């Protein structure tokens, strides 16, 4: 029997699932080795209960999503966080809760009760076995992770900074020109795509485990205020101290 893979999504933009679909021929090759059993975006018959691998995109912000996540954990041998929303809380976690409440009241009225909570990574609720990082996760990483899992290996997280690939691409360093960039403390593997495209790195793949954050903050403080630094880092890293480490919750 082929191993079963379920794909679920919580609150997010579904961009990582689009990347999965964009694998095209490679996706068809994967399908030869597995049975995809529950995938709301890709098929209609989604009634399987137990899974060998459960890939989850998005952050569970409602109680219903959190309950489903705990249930999926119990029913899956391997649970994988797909993309920055699932791995870090992602962009939804950058929302200032005080501002959010203010705008909810203004738009929907004082009696409206939101079902959503602040965005947290999956690892805040359950044990996560593997992470496919990025916003969106790259096709290369998705393919590598699924291939590793089918070969019985847990996909490893890269342990080098974005700067490594940035220098290999001969980009001028933004920090030397007083432009923000989280490359030195961010997990690489994306080929420094944002920096090569003219933007800074925002750390969408998560914090490097051995990155020197205090020293890095001091570098940024030479040309940014503390408030600007917090805003910059909170786009992806507002849950930064609990990210990238599969925890021991069950």
Interface residues toward ligand SF4, by CB under 6 A: 12-16, 57-58, 83-85, 90-91, 134-136, 162-163, 166-167, 171, 173-175, 181, 183-184, 186, 190, 192-195, 201-205
In the complex, least distance from residue 91 CB atom to ligand SF4, rounded to whole angstroms: 5
In the complex, least distance from residue 202 CB atom to ligand SF4, rounded to whole angstroms: 4
Which is nearer to ligand SF4, 91 or 149 (by Cβ)?
91
Q: Both tokens of residue 205? A: 């793949």
Which is nearer to ligand SF4, 36 or 162 (by Cβ)?
162
Helix H or strand E encompassing 25: helix 25-33
CA 224/CA 219 separation, integer angstroms: 9
Which is nearer to ligand SF4, 5 or 142 (by Cβ)?
142
Please answer whether residues 54 and 48 qualify as being in contact, where contact means their C-beta atoms are separated by less than 8 angstroms.
Answer: no
In the complex, least distance from residue 59 CB atom to ligand SF4, rounded to whole angstroms: 8
CA 208/CA 53 separation, integer angstroms: 26
110 three-class SS: coil
Q: Starting at the edge strand that comes first in sequence, how are the strands of the sheet with 76-82 ordered? A: 35-39, 4-9, 51-57, 76-82, 130-132
In the complex, least distance from residue 86 CB atom to ligand SF4, rounded to whole angstroms: 7
CB-count burial class (<10 Å; 0-12, 13-18, 19+) for 200: middle
Which is nearer to ligand SF4, 16 or 243 (by Cβ)?
16
Which is nearer to ligand SF4, 12 or 65 (by Cβ)?
12
In the complex, least distance from residue 33 CB atom to ligand SF4, rounded to whole angstroms: 24
């Amino acid at each position: 029997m082929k191993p079963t893979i379920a794909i679920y999504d919580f609150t997010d933009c579904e961009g990582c699932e689009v990347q999965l679909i964009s694998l095209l021929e490679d996706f068809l090759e994967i399908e030869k080795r597995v049975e995809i059993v529950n995938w709301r975006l890709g098929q209609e018959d989604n009634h399987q209960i137990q899974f060998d691998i459960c890939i989850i995109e998005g952050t569970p912000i409602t109680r219903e999503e959190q309950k489903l996540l705990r249930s999926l954990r119990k029913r899956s041998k391997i649970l994988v966080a797909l993309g920055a929303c699932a791995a870090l809380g992602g962009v939804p976690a950058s929302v200032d809760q005080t501002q959010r409440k203010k705008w909810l009241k203004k738009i929907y009225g004082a009696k409206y009760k939101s079902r959503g909570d602040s965005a947290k990574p999956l690892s805040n609720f359950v044990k996560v076995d593997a992470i496919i990082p990025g916003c969106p996760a790259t096709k290369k990483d998705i393919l590598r992770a699924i291939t590793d899992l089918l070969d019985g290996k847990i996909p490893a997280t890269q342990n080098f900074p974005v700067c490594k690939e940035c220098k290999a691409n001969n980009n001028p360093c933004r920090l030397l020109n007083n432009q923000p960039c989280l490359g030195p403390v961010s997990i690489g593997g994306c080929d420094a795509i944002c920096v090569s495209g003219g933007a800074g790195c925002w750390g969408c793949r998560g914090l490097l485990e051995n990155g020197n954050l205090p020293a890095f903050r001091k570098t940024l403080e030479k040309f940014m205020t503390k408030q600007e630094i917090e805003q910059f880092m909170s786009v992806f890293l507002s849950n930064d101290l609990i990210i990238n480490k599969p925890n021991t919750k069950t």
